[in-house]
Structure 1
Amino acid sequence: MIDAALELSRDRGLDGWTIRDLAQALRVWPNTIAYHVGDREAILDAVVERVVAMMPNPPADLGWQDWFRAFLFPGRDIVGRYVGVARRLCRDGAAVPSAFPIMDRGIGLLAAAGFGDRAPLAYATLLNSAMLLVALDDDRALAGHGRADAATALRYATAPPGAGEGWATMQPWLRAWDADPDASRAALYRYTIECLLAGLEADLRAGAGQAGGADPG
Protein backbone atom coordinates (compact mmCIF):
# COMPACT_ATOMS: atom_id res chain seq x y z
CA MET A 1 0.00 0.00 0.00
CA ILE A 2 2.80 2.41 0.85
CA ASP A 3 4.46 1.69 -2.50
CA ALA A 4 1.26 2.76 -4.24
CA ALA A 5 0.95 5.86 -2.05
CA LEU A 6 4.55 6.74 -2.83
CA GLU A 7 3.88 6.44 -6.56
CA LEU A 8 0.76 8.61 -6.29
CA SER A 9 2.76 11.20 -4.35
CA ARG A 10 5.43 11.25 -7.05
CA ASP A 11 2.84 11.71 -9.78
CA ARG A 12 0.40 14.07 -8.04
CA GLY A 13 2.13 15.44 -4.97
CA LEU A 14 1.55 14.47 -1.35
CA ASP A 15 -1.74 16.37 -1.16
CA GLY A 16 -2.92 15.50 -4.66
CA TRP A 17 -4.59 12.18 -3.93
CA THR A 18 -7.22 10.78 -1.59
CA ILE A 19 -7.77 7.47 0.15
CA ARG A 20 -10.30 6.69 -2.55
CA ASP A 21 -7.62 7.29 -5.21
CA LEU A 22 -5.26 4.98 -3.35
CA ALA A 23 -7.95 2.34 -3.01
CA GLN A 24 -8.66 2.57 -6.74
CA ALA A 25 -4.96 2.17 -7.56
CA LEU A 26 -4.83 -0.92 -5.34
CA ARG A 27 -8.23 -2.19 -6.45
CA VAL A 28 -9.46 -2.55 -2.88
CA TRP A 29 -12.15 -0.91 -0.76
CA PRO A 30 -11.10 2.24 1.16
CA ASN A 31 -12.01 0.50 4.42
CA THR A 32 -9.38 -2.14 3.65
CA ILE A 33 -6.68 0.55 3.70
CA ALA A 34 -7.91 1.93 7.01
CA TYR A 35 -7.91 -1.55 8.51
CA HIS A 36 -4.38 -2.48 7.41
CA VAL A 37 -2.54 0.86 7.53
CA GLY A 38 -4.67 3.51 9.24
CA ASP A 39 -6.01 6.90 8.24
CA ARG A 40 -4.53 9.17 5.59
CA GLU A 41 -2.20 10.88 8.08
CA ALA A 42 -0.65 7.54 8.95
CA ILE A 43 -0.12 6.82 5.26
CA LEU A 44 1.42 10.24 4.66
CA ASP A 45 3.80 9.67 7.56
CA ALA A 46 4.80 6.38 5.96
CA VAL A 47 5.38 8.10 2.60
CA VAL A 48 7.59 10.73 4.25
CA GLU A 49 9.45 7.93 6.02
CA ARG A 50 10.14 6.26 2.66
CA VAL A 51 11.32 9.49 1.04
CA VAL A 52 13.67 10.35 3.91
CA ALA A 53 15.02 6.79 3.75
CA MET A 54 16.08 7.49 0.15
CA MET A 55 18.27 10.40 1.26
CA PRO A 56 21.98 9.68 1.65
CA ASN A 57 23.70 9.35 5.01
CA PRO A 58 27.28 10.07 3.94
CA PRO A 59 30.21 8.44 5.77
CA ALA A 60 31.28 9.99 9.04
CA ASP A 61 34.91 10.36 7.91
CA LEU A 62 33.97 13.37 5.79
CA GLY A 63 34.51 16.79 7.27
CA TRP A 64 31.31 18.32 8.58
CA GLN A 65 30.94 20.75 5.67
CA ASP A 66 31.55 18.08 3.03
CA TRP A 67 29.15 15.77 4.88
CA PHE A 68 26.34 18.32 4.62
CA ARG A 69 27.10 18.94 0.96
CA ALA A 70 26.97 15.19 0.29
CA PHE A 71 23.68 14.99 2.19
CA LEU A 72 21.83 18.14 1.13
CA PHE A 73 22.77 18.49 -2.53
CA PRO A 74 21.40 15.11 -3.67
CA GLY A 75 18.74 15.33 -0.97
CA ARG A 76 17.13 18.26 -2.79
CA ASP A 77 16.51 16.18 -5.90
CA ILE A 78 15.14 13.25 -3.90
CA VAL A 79 12.69 15.25 -1.79
CA GLY A 80 11.80 17.46 -4.74
CA ARG A 81 10.41 14.49 -6.65
CA TYR A 82 7.62 14.21 -4.07
CA VAL A 83 5.84 17.56 -3.91
CA GLY A 84 4.65 18.33 -0.40
CA VAL A 85 7.16 16.23 1.51
CA ALA A 86 9.53 19.16 2.10
CA ARG A 87 6.74 21.31 3.54
CA ARG A 88 5.68 18.47 5.84
CA LEU A 89 9.26 18.06 7.02
CA CYS A 90 9.45 21.80 7.73
CA ARG A 91 6.15 21.72 9.60
CA ASP A 92 6.60 18.55 11.64
CA GLY A 93 10.35 18.10 11.71
CA ALA A 94 12.04 14.92 10.58
CA ALA A 95 10.26 12.87 13.22
CA VAL A 96 10.41 9.61 11.27
CA PRO A 97 12.66 6.64 12.09
CA SER A 98 14.70 6.88 8.89
CA ALA A 99 15.77 10.42 9.84
CA PHE A 100 17.34 9.45 13.16
CA PRO A 101 20.58 7.88 11.84
CA ILE A 102 21.10 10.91 9.60
CA MET A 103 20.41 13.29 12.47
CA ASP A 104 22.72 11.40 14.82
CA ARG A 105 25.60 11.50 12.37
CA GLY A 106 25.09 15.12 11.30
CA ILE A 107 24.76 16.48 14.83
CA GLY A 108 27.63 14.27 15.98
CA LEU A 109 29.92 15.72 13.32
CA LEU A 110 28.92 19.26 14.25
CA ALA A 111 29.52 18.59 17.93
CA ALA A 112 32.91 17.05 17.19
CA ALA A 113 33.82 20.07 15.05
CA GLY A 114 33.39 22.31 18.07
CA PHE A 115 29.78 23.50 17.97
CA GLY A 116 29.09 21.76 21.26
CA ASP A 117 25.59 22.36 22.55
CA ARG A 118 24.90 24.56 19.50
CA ALA A 119 25.22 21.53 17.20
CA PRO A 120 21.44 20.87 17.12
CA LEU A 121 20.83 24.54 16.30
CA ALA A 122 23.35 24.44 13.45
CA TYR A 123 21.81 21.21 12.14
CA ALA A 124 18.29 22.64 12.26
CA THR A 125 19.43 25.82 10.51
CA LEU A 126 20.85 23.86 7.58
CA LEU A 127 18.00 21.36 7.31
CA ASN A 128 15.18 23.88 7.68
CA SER A 129 16.73 26.29 5.19
CA ALA A 130 17.23 23.50 2.64
CA MET A 131 13.71 22.09 3.01
CA LEU A 132 12.11 25.55 2.93
CA LEU A 133 13.72 26.21 -0.45
CA VAL A 134 12.42 22.88 -1.77
CA ALA A 135 8.97 23.67 -0.35
CA LEU A 136 9.05 27.05 -2.12
CA ASP A 137 9.78 25.30 -5.42
CA ASP A 138 6.84 22.97 -4.68
CA ASP A 139 4.56 25.95 -4.09
CA ARG A 140 5.61 27.52 -7.38
CA ALA A 141 4.82 24.29 -9.19
CA LEU A 142 1.44 23.93 -7.51
CA ALA A 143 0.56 27.55 -8.24
CA GLY A 144 1.29 27.01 -11.92
CA HIS A 145 4.09 29.55 -11.96
CA GLY A 146 7.69 28.49 -12.51
CA ARG A 147 8.81 30.29 -15.65
CA ALA A 148 6.08 32.89 -15.30
CA ASP A 149 7.30 34.42 -12.03
CA ALA A 150 10.52 35.80 -13.50
CA ALA A 151 8.92 36.47 -16.89
CA THR A 152 6.30 38.68 -15.26
CA ALA A 153 8.99 40.89 -13.79
CA LEU A 154 10.68 41.17 -17.17
CA ARG A 155 7.54 42.61 -18.78
CA TYR A 156 8.49 46.04 -17.46
CA ALA A 157 9.78 47.90 -20.50
CA THR A 158 11.19 50.52 -18.18
CA ALA A 159 11.97 50.51 -14.51
CA PRO A 160 8.87 50.85 -12.31
CA PRO A 161 8.49 53.99 -10.15
CA GLY A 162 11.02 54.05 -7.34
CA ALA A 163 13.37 51.53 -8.94
CA GLY A 164 17.05 52.37 -8.97
CA GLU A 165 20.37 50.69 -9.58
CA GLY A 166 19.23 47.55 -7.81
CA TRP A 167 16.50 47.03 -10.38
CA ALA A 168 18.92 47.40 -13.28
CA THR A 169 21.39 45.03 -11.63
CA MET A 170 18.63 42.47 -11.10
CA GLN A 171 17.62 42.28 -14.78
CA PRO A 172 20.41 39.99 -16.07
CA TRP A 173 19.81 37.59 -13.17
CA LEU A 174 16.07 37.55 -13.87
CA ARG A 175 16.69 36.89 -17.55
CA ALA A 176 18.99 33.99 -16.70
CA TRP A 177 16.32 32.66 -14.34
CA ASP A 178 13.68 32.96 -17.04
CA ALA A 179 15.90 31.20 -19.59
CA ASP A 180 16.50 28.16 -17.34
CA PRO A 181 14.47 28.24 -14.12
CA ASP A 182 15.41 24.72 -13.07
CA ALA A 183 19.13 25.45 -13.25
CA SER A 184 18.61 28.80 -11.54
CA ARG A 185 16.68 27.26 -8.66
CA ALA A 186 19.38 24.63 -8.24
CA ALA A 187 22.06 27.34 -8.24
CA LEU A 188 20.14 29.35 -5.64
CA TYR A 189 19.83 26.26 -3.46
CA ARG A 190 23.54 25.47 -3.66
CA TYR A 191 24.52 29.11 -3.06
CA THR A 192 22.27 29.26 0.00
CA ILE A 193 23.77 26.09 1.46
CA GLU A 194 27.31 27.30 0.78
CA CYS A 195 26.56 30.64 2.47
CA LEU A 196 25.09 28.85 5.48
CA LEU A 197 28.13 26.59 5.74
CA ALA A 198 30.46 29.60 5.50
CA GLY A 199 28.44 31.45 8.14
CA LEU A 200 28.51 28.47 10.50
CA GLU A 201 32.26 28.13 9.95
CA ALA A 202 32.69 31.82 10.85
CA ASP A 203 30.52 31.33 13.93
CA LEU A 204 32.61 28.31 14.92
CA ARG A 205 35.87 30.24 14.54
CA ALA A 206 34.50 33.20 16.46
CA GLY A 207 33.49 30.91 19.30
CA ALA A 208 36.91 29.25 19.32
CA GLY A 209 38.59 32.64 19.32
CA GLN A 210 36.52 33.82 22.26
CA ALA A 211 37.23 30.62 24.14
CA GLY A 212 40.95 30.85 23.39
CA GLY A 213 41.10 34.47 24.48
CA ALA A 214 39.33 33.97 27.76
CA ASP A 215 41.07 35.18 30.91
CA PRO A 216 42.23 32.03 32.72
CA GLY A 217 42.00 33.86 36.02
Structure 2
Amino acid sequence: MTQPSVLVVEDEPAQRAILAYNLEAEGFRVVQAGDGEEALVLIDEEAPDVILLDWMLPSVSGIEICRQIKMRKDTRLVPVIMLSARSEEVDKVRGLETGADDYVTKPYSVLELMARVRTQLRRARPGTVGSRLEFQDIILDTENHRVSRAENEVKLGPTEFRLLTTFMEKPGRVWSREQLLDRVWGRDIYVDTRTVDVHIGRLRKALCRHGGDDPVRTVRGAGYALG
Protein backbone atom coordinates (compact mmCIF):
# COMPACT_ATOMS: atom_id res chain seq x y z
CA MET A 1 0.00 0.00 0.00
CA THR A 2 1.43 3.37 -1.02
CA GLN A 3 2.02 5.96 1.65
CA PRO A 4 -0.86 8.46 1.61
CA SER A 5 0.18 12.01 0.74
CA VAL A 6 -1.00 15.38 1.99
CA LEU A 7 -0.39 18.69 0.22
CA VAL A 8 0.00 21.53 2.74
CA VAL A 9 -0.71 24.94 1.16
CA GLU A 10 0.28 27.58 3.72
CA ASP A 11 2.27 30.80 3.19
CA GLU A 12 3.45 31.05 6.81
CA PRO A 13 6.67 28.94 7.07
CA ALA A 14 6.33 28.23 10.81
CA GLN A 15 2.74 26.98 10.44
CA ARG A 16 3.73 24.93 7.42
CA ALA A 17 6.58 23.30 9.35
CA ILE A 18 4.33 22.41 12.30
CA LEU A 19 1.75 20.83 10.02
CA ALA A 20 4.40 18.91 8.07
CA TYR A 21 6.01 17.59 11.27
CA ASN A 22 2.73 16.33 12.70
CA LEU A 23 1.55 14.81 9.43
CA GLU A 24 4.84 12.97 8.97
CA ALA A 25 4.58 11.68 12.54
CA GLU A 26 1.17 10.26 11.56
CA GLY A 27 2.76 8.41 8.66
CA PHE A 28 1.83 10.71 5.78
CA ARG A 29 4.09 11.82 2.95
CA VAL A 30 3.98 15.62 2.97
CA VAL A 31 4.24 17.97 0.00
CA GLN A 32 4.44 21.70 0.73
CA ALA A 33 3.45 24.83 -1.19
CA GLY A 34 3.89 28.42 -0.06
CA ASP A 35 1.39 30.01 -2.45
CA GLY A 36 -1.54 29.20 -4.71
CA GLU A 37 0.38 29.05 -7.99
CA GLU A 38 2.87 26.56 -6.56
CA ALA A 39 -0.04 24.55 -5.16
CA LEU A 40 -1.68 24.21 -8.58
CA VAL A 41 1.59 22.91 -10.06
CA LEU A 42 2.10 20.40 -7.22
CA ILE A 43 -1.48 19.14 -7.44
CA ASP A 44 -0.71 18.07 -11.02
CA GLU A 45 2.73 16.69 -10.24
CA GLU A 46 2.06 14.94 -6.94
CA ALA A 47 -1.64 13.94 -7.10
CA PRO A 48 -2.11 14.32 -3.30
CA ASP A 49 -4.70 12.28 -1.41
CA VAL A 50 -5.75 15.21 0.83
CA ILE A 51 -5.14 18.96 0.56
CA LEU A 52 -4.80 21.29 3.56
CA LEU A 53 -5.51 24.71 2.08
CA ASP A 54 -5.06 28.08 3.76
CA TRP A 55 -7.69 30.67 2.79
CA MET A 56 -5.37 33.70 2.79
CA LEU A 57 -2.61 33.10 0.22
CA PRO A 58 -0.49 35.40 -1.94
CA SER A 59 -1.17 35.51 -5.70
CA VAL A 60 -4.16 33.13 -5.78
CA SER A 61 -6.53 32.81 -2.80
CA GLY A 62 -7.38 29.50 -1.17
CA ILE A 63 -11.01 29.96 -2.24
CA GLU A 64 -9.97 30.24 -5.88
CA ILE A 65 -7.64 27.24 -5.58
CA CYS A 66 -10.48 25.20 -4.07
CA ARG A 67 -12.84 26.30 -6.85
CA GLN A 68 -10.36 25.19 -9.53
CA ILE A 69 -9.71 21.84 -7.81
CA LYS A 70 -13.42 21.06 -7.63
CA MET A 71 -14.10 22.13 -11.23
CA ARG A 72 -11.60 19.70 -12.71
CA LYS A 73 -12.67 16.09 -13.30
CA ASP A 74 -9.26 14.68 -12.33
CA THR A 75 -9.09 16.49 -8.97
CA ARG A 76 -12.68 17.18 -7.87
CA LEU A 77 -12.79 14.09 -5.64
CA VAL A 78 -9.61 15.05 -3.73
CA PRO A 79 -10.66 16.12 -0.20
CA VAL A 80 -9.88 19.75 0.62
CA ILE A 81 -9.70 20.95 4.23
CA MET A 82 -9.84 24.74 4.34
CA LEU A 83 -7.80 26.47 7.07
CA SER A 84 -8.82 30.00 7.92
CA ALA A 85 -8.64 32.68 10.59
CA ARG A 86 -12.12 33.72 9.45
CA SER A 87 -14.45 32.38 12.11
CA GLU A 88 -17.73 33.95 10.99
CA GLU A 89 -20.41 31.49 9.92
CA VAL A 90 -20.82 33.26 6.57
CA ASP A 91 -17.13 32.59 5.79
CA LYS A 92 -17.44 28.93 6.71
CA VAL A 93 -20.51 28.60 4.49
CA ARG A 94 -18.69 30.33 1.63
CA GLY A 95 -15.74 27.94 1.98
CA LEU A 96 -17.95 24.86 2.03
CA GLU A 97 -20.09 26.13 -0.86
CA THR A 98 -16.92 26.60 -2.91
CA GLY A 99 -16.35 22.88 -2.52
CA ALA A 100 -14.22 22.46 0.60
CA ASP A 101 -14.89 19.13 2.31
CA ASP A 102 -14.12 20.52 5.75
CA TYR A 103 -13.43 23.93 7.31
CA VAL A 104 -11.12 24.44 10.29
CA THR A 105 -10.80 27.80 12.04
CA LYS A 106 -7.42 29.07 13.28
CA PRO A 107 -6.11 28.68 15.90
CA TYR A 108 -6.84 24.98 15.72
CA SER A 109 -5.98 21.87 17.71
CA VAL A 110 -3.32 19.92 15.82
CA LEU A 111 -4.67 16.63 17.18
CA GLU A 112 -8.17 17.48 15.98
CA LEU A 113 -6.83 18.51 12.58
CA MET A 114 -4.94 15.21 12.24
CA ALA A 115 -8.17 13.35 13.02
CA ARG A 116 -10.00 15.34 10.34
CA VAL A 117 -7.28 14.50 7.80
CA ARG A 118 -7.65 10.79 8.58
CA THR A 119 -11.44 11.07 8.26
CA GLN A 120 -11.19 12.66 4.81
CA LEU A 121 -8.58 10.13 3.73
CA ARG A 122 -10.79 7.22 4.73
CA ARG A 123 -13.60 8.66 2.64
CA ALA A 124 -11.36 9.21 -0.38
CA ARG A 125 -9.32 6.01 -0.11
CA PRO A 126 -11.02 3.45 2.15
CA GLY A 127 -8.47 1.22 3.78
CA THR A 128 -5.56 3.63 3.32
CA VAL A 129 -5.45 4.53 6.99
CA GLY A 130 -5.21 1.43 9.09
CA SER A 131 -6.69 2.07 12.51
CA ARG A 132 -5.53 -1.20 14.08
CA LEU A 133 -2.06 -2.72 14.32
CA GLU A 134 -1.40 -6.11 15.91
CA PHE A 135 1.75 -7.91 17.03
CA GLN A 136 1.47 -11.09 19.09
CA ASP A 137 -0.83 -10.12 22.00
CA ILE A 138 -0.41 -6.36 21.52
CA ILE A 139 -3.17 -4.36 19.80
CA LEU A 140 -2.69 -0.69 18.90
CA ASP A 141 -5.64 1.44 17.81
CA THR A 142 -4.16 4.43 15.97
CA GLU A 143 -7.47 6.24 15.59
CA ASN A 144 -8.44 6.22 19.26
CA HIS A 145 -4.88 6.18 20.64
CA ARG A 146 -5.47 3.03 22.68
CA VAL A 147 -3.15 0.11 23.33
CA SER A 148 -3.88 -3.22 24.95
CA ARG A 149 -1.82 -6.32 25.68
CA ALA A 150 -3.45 -9.65 26.45
CA GLU A 151 -6.71 -7.67 26.82
CA ASN A 152 -5.18 -5.40 29.49
CA GLU A 153 -5.16 -1.68 28.78
CA VAL A 154 -1.68 -0.22 28.36
CA LYS A 155 -1.33 3.47 29.19
CA LEU A 156 1.30 5.25 27.11
CA GLY A 157 2.44 8.83 26.78
CA PRO A 158 2.39 10.46 23.30
CA THR A 159 6.08 9.73 22.64
CA GLU A 160 5.84 6.10 23.73
CA PHE A 161 2.71 5.71 21.59
CA ARG A 162 4.57 7.00 18.51
CA LEU A 163 7.51 4.72 19.28
CA LEU A 164 5.26 1.66 19.54
CA THR A 165 3.41 2.65 16.36
CA THR A 166 6.73 2.86 14.52
CA PHE A 167 7.77 -0.58 15.78
CA MET A 168 4.42 -2.20 15.03
CA GLU A 169 4.25 -0.84 11.49
CA LYS A 170 7.38 -2.87 10.69
CA PRO A 171 7.88 -5.69 13.23
CA GLY A 172 11.37 -7.15 13.18
CA ARG A 173 12.98 -4.11 11.59
CA VAL A 174 15.95 -2.76 13.51
CA TRP A 175 15.72 0.99 14.09
CA SER A 176 18.82 2.97 15.06
CA ARG A 177 18.49 5.67 17.69
CA GLU A 178 19.00 8.31 14.99
CA GLN A 179 16.23 6.82 12.83
CA LEU A 180 13.86 6.78 15.80
CA LEU A 181 14.73 10.40 16.59
CA ASP A 182 13.89 11.43 13.01
CA ARG A 183 10.71 9.37 12.92
CA VAL A 184 9.29 10.08 16.38
CA TRP A 185 10.69 13.48 17.35
CA GLY A 186 11.27 14.98 13.89
CA ARG A 187 14.41 15.97 11.95
CA ASP A 188 14.28 19.61 13.02
CA ILE A 189 14.10 18.88 16.74
CA TYR A 190 17.37 18.45 18.65
CA VAL A 191 17.12 15.61 21.14
CA ASP A 192 20.02 13.66 22.63
CA THR A 193 20.11 10.03 21.50
CA ARG A 194 20.05 8.97 25.16
CA THR A 195 16.51 10.33 25.32
CA VAL A 196 15.50 7.46 23.02
CA ASP A 197 16.78 4.97 25.61
CA VAL A 198 14.74 6.67 28.34
CA HIS A 199 11.50 6.46 26.35
CA ILE A 200 12.22 2.87 25.26
CA GLY A 201 12.56 2.05 28.96
CA ARG A 202 9.18 3.65 29.69
CA LEU A 203 7.59 1.77 26.79
CA ARG A 204 8.98 -1.55 28.02
CA LYS A 205 7.77 -0.89 31.55
CA ALA A 206 4.25 -0.06 30.35
CA LEU A 207 4.03 -3.09 28.06
CA CYS A 208 5.18 -5.46 30.79
CA ARG A 209 3.13 -3.95 33.62
CA HIS A 210 0.62 -6.83 33.52
CA GLY A 211 3.22 -9.52 32.82
CA GLY A 212 4.59 -11.06 29.66
CA ASP A 213 8.01 -11.00 28.05
CA ASP A 214 9.63 -7.77 26.91
CA PRO A 215 8.71 -7.50 23.20
CA VAL A 216 11.29 -4.78 22.46
CA ARG A 217 14.65 -6.25 21.52
CA THR A 218 17.95 -4.38 21.97
CA VAL A 219 20.29 -5.01 19.05
CA ARG A 220 23.76 -4.25 20.36
CA GLY A 221 25.51 -1.57 18.35
CA ALA A 222 22.49 -1.12 16.04
CA GLY A 223 19.37 -0.05 17.93
CA TYR A 224 15.97 -1.52 18.76
CA ALA A 225 13.42 -3.82 17.17
CA LEU A 226 10.03 -5.30 18.00
CA GLY A 227 10.22 -9.06 18.32
**Could you tell me the TM-score, scaled by structure 1's length?**
0.32
Which structure has the larger Rg over C-alpha atoms?
1
Is the strand fraction higher in 1 or 2? Answer: 2
**Could you tell me the TM-score, scaled by structure 2's length?**
0.31
Is the helix fraction higher in 1 or 2? Answer: 1
